[in-house]
Amino acid sequence: MIDLQLLALLLTPLLGGGLLAVFGSRRWAAELNSLMSGFTFLASVALTMRVVEQGPQVAFNEQFFIDPFNVFLVALTAFVAFTTSLFSRPYMRVEQHHGKLSTPMLHLYYSMYQLFTFTMLLALTTNNMGIIWVAMEAATLTTVLLVSLYRTPASLEAAWKYFILCGVGIALALFGTILLYFAAERVLGQGGTALLWTHLNQVKTDLEPTVLKLAFVFLLVGYGTKIGLVPLHSWLPDAHAEGPTPVSAVLSGLLLNIALCAVMRSKVLVDGSLGNHFAGNLMMGFGLLSVVVAALFLSRQKDIKRMFAYSSIEHMGLITFAFGMGGAVATFAGMLHMTVHSLVKSAIFFAVGHAVQKSGTQQMEHIRGMLQISPTVGWGLALGTFAILGMPPFGVFASEFLIITTAMHSYPWSTPILLAALGIAFAAIFGKIQPIVFGETTARRLPHPPALIPVFVHLLLALILGLYMPPYLAGWYRQAAALLG
């Protein structure tokens, strides 16, 4: 049964990629894209319910492994991929209408979108540390041509940077994986099982600490490039700013999470082998640096998508910091933050996409008075910004509050740094978004309000998570937190 559900989850996007590679130029390609993403989402729901009922499962000769930690990311990924496909349908049509995109480009976009979803789900569900690497690299490959979709000099530059930097990063991660195998082979023997995470997890105390230490450094630096941790982040703002908005939304909301998930899988093994806080300290260091540097860069941004890309770096840094601290509460908070950040950040990118489309520029000084032009876009952007800045009723507040109180308890020295960085980020983003939403403009009001249902659905979910945590969800996070230690 689990085999079948997993198969449905993985094959649907793969099939979608194949179908759209053939039919991507048809008029109904966008609908097909949404449909396949919808099916993927349904499959993920079915899988999630099963795992919630029956606990961790392995499938296909132990090649796949689903536990509460990754299944929540599977559900989140499939959900955001689905809503993004809904958002991209009208959005990309308008882009085509404006002459920015041609039909062949859209063809490429749709089929790559599905394949990208497939690689992310594969990276999440596989039990093989080697396959995680393969899937992560494949995720880069599928998105790199999407970043350069507009074929402008800037977008080509961004895509080249993305490709080279992530390629180098991921190569280092491969070296880390090889070292991991090197250590595992001595315990588990030659052959296929030595890279299976479940097997590694059982023998983690026997793994050679010197090798694992080095392996983790490589894995963290490698996948950390993908997460966008400072100082490996320089591809991220470019790729987010120059790529099409739906791509920015999934990159920011999903891909970064998945890279972090790969790091967490390694961290569990390294903690078991070393028996100290080495991995956690490294992650805390990188996380804190990312939060601080991103916050400082935020105020200097002129491009709206670039600014929110830096905000993603900041939040990923915060999550990495939380996971680095470890312990039940911090890990719980980290996962909650991962969820709400994905929801809110993709919602913001949807709203930003519309705002940019309406005003024809990404420069913030030229985007003014969105509330007058279109109240839906204006409110979506305003609420999204409130949410991402950690205003109380939204889920981001809850998770940030938890992270900071834990930090105050376990690592008091870090609290002022975190608070200062969050304060700077708040001032920077709020100061720039306020005139965009509430400012005066001479532009005419739009005749039809744009369809922004995904934005409000995401924000509503984030709001609910902030006000009330459903008990099964809390239990689910707790299980995962216990698993990650």
Partner 1 sequence: MSIPFTTQIINLLASILLLIAFAMLSQRRILSLIKLFAWQGLALSASTFVVAYSTAQHHLYYSAALTLLLKVLILPWLLHRLIHKLNVKWDVETLINIPTTMLVGIVLVIFAFNLAAPISQLSESITRGLIGIALASVLLSLLMMITRRKAVPQVVGFLAMENGLFFAATSATHGMPLVVELGIALDVLVGTFIFGIFFFQLRETFDSLDITHMEKLKDD
Closest to partner 1 by CB, 152 vs 410, is: 152
What is the smallest separation between the CB atom of 113 and partner 1, expressed in angstroms?
A: 16
Nearest Cα residue to 398 out of 461, 469, 482: 469
Give the residue from 232, 202, 204, 203 showing the smallest Cα distance to 217: 232
Q: Determine the Cα–Cα distance for residues 41 and 454; give it in Å rounded to an integer.
A: 14
Six-digit token string for 463: 């709001």
Exactly one of 137, 271, 314, 400 binds partner 1 (CB under 8 A); that residue is 137
Which one among 18, 130, 435, 485 touches partner 1, defined by CB under 8 A?
130
- Residue 133 touching partner 1 (CB under 8 A): yes
Give the C-alpha separation, 181 to 195, whole Å. 6
Task: Give the rounded distance of the alpha carbon of 74 from its chain centre.
Answer: 11
CA distance 30 to 21: 12
**Please, which residue, 190 or 442, has the CB nearer to partner 1?**
190
Rounded CA separation 449/440 (Å): 19
Please give the size of the binding site for partner 1, defined by CB under 8 A: 50
State in angstroms the smallest separation of the CB of 122 from partner 1: 10
Residue whose CB is less far from partner 1, 174 or 463: 174
Q: Of the candidates 18, 23, 38, 160, which one interacts with partner 1 according to CB under 8 A?
A: 160
Stretch in the footprint of partner 1 (CB under 8 A) among 85-93, 95-103, 184-192, 417-425: 184-192
Torsion angle in degrees (nearest 10) through CA of 80, 418, 365, 379: 50
- Does 214 contact partner 1 by CB under 8 A? yes
Minimum CB separation of residue 110 from partner 1 in Å reads 17
Residue 458 has a CB neighbour count (10 Å cut-off) of 29
Q: Which stretch binds partner 1 (CB under 8 A): 65-73, 77-85, 143-151, 263-271?
A: 143-151
Cα–Cα distance for residue pair 413/80, rounded to 1 Å: 36
Contact in structure between 162 and 144 (CB atoms under 8 Å):
yes
Which stretch in 45-53, 168-176, 248-256, 408-416 sits in contact with partner 1 by CB under 8 A? Answer: 168-176
189 near partner 1, rule: CB under 8 A: no
How near is the Cβ of 406 to partner 1 at its closest, in Å? 32
d(CA 309, CA 245): 11
> Residue 147, interface with partner 1 (CB under 8 A)?
no
Burial class of residue 28 in the structure, from the number of CB atoms within 10 Å of its CB (0-12 exposed, 13-18 middle, 19+ buried) = exposed
Among the candidate windows 38-46, 140-148, 431-439, 474-482, which touches partner 1 by CB under 8 A? 140-148
How far is 290 from 304, CA to CA, in rounded Å? 19
Min dist. Cβ of residue 182 to partner 1 (A):
5
Report the nearest approach of partner 1 to the CB of residue 160 (Å): 6
Residue 157 as a binder of partner 1 (CB under 8 A): the answer is yes
Q: Which of 7, 156, 427, 451 binds partner 1 (CB under 8 A)?
A: 156
d(CA 68, CA 477): 7
- CB closer to partner 1, 98 vs 302: 302
Tokens 């190569």 identify what position? 171
Rg (CA), the chain: 21
Instruction: Provide, rounded to whole angstroms, the least separation between the CB of residue 194 and partner 1.
Output: 7
Beta-bridge partners for 66: 57
Contacts of 241 (CB under 8 A, 6+ apart): 158, 248, 303, 305, 306, 309, 362
CA-based max dimension of the chain: 71
Strands (DSSP E) contained in 15-122 are: 57-59, 64-66
User: Whole-number minimum distance, CB 130 to partner 1, in Å?
Assistant: 3
The CA distance from 53 to 97, in Å, is 47
Q: How far apart are CA 281 and CA 286, in angstroms?
A: 9
List C-alpha distances in Å: 402 to 254, 327, 330. Answer: 22, 12, 7
Helix axes 278-298, 414-438, angle to 10 degrees: 30
**List 64, 113, 118, 181, residue binding partner 1 (CB under 8 A):** 181
The CA angle 176-179-185, to the nearest 5 degrees, is 140
Residues 219-278 close enough to bind partner 1 by CB under 8 A: 237-238, 241-242
Residue 303-342 contact track with partner 1, rule CB under 8 A, x = bound: ----------------------------------------
* Interface residue with partner 1, options 121, 131, 264, 367 (CB under 8 A): 131
Q: Which is nearer to partner 1, 171 or 473 (CB)?
A: 171
174 binds partner 1 (CB under 8 A): yes
Question: 47 or 112, CB closer to partner 1?
Answer: 112
Residue 207 binds partner 1, judged by CB under 8 A: no
Which residue in 116, 197, 297, 350 binds partner 1 (CB under 8 A)?
Answer: 297
Q: Pick from 96, 203, 208, 473: which binds partner 1 (CB under 8 A)?
A: 208
- The residue assigned the tokens 């910004």 is 385
Task: State in angstroms the smallest separation of the CB of 148 from partner 1.
Answer: 6
What residues line the site for partner 1 (CB under 8 A)? Answer: 128, 130-131, 133-134, 137-138, 141, 144-145, 148, 151-154, 156-161, 163-164, 167-168, 171-172, 174-175, 178-179, 181-182, 185, 190-192, 194-195, 208, 210-211, 214, 237-238, 241-242, 297, 300-301
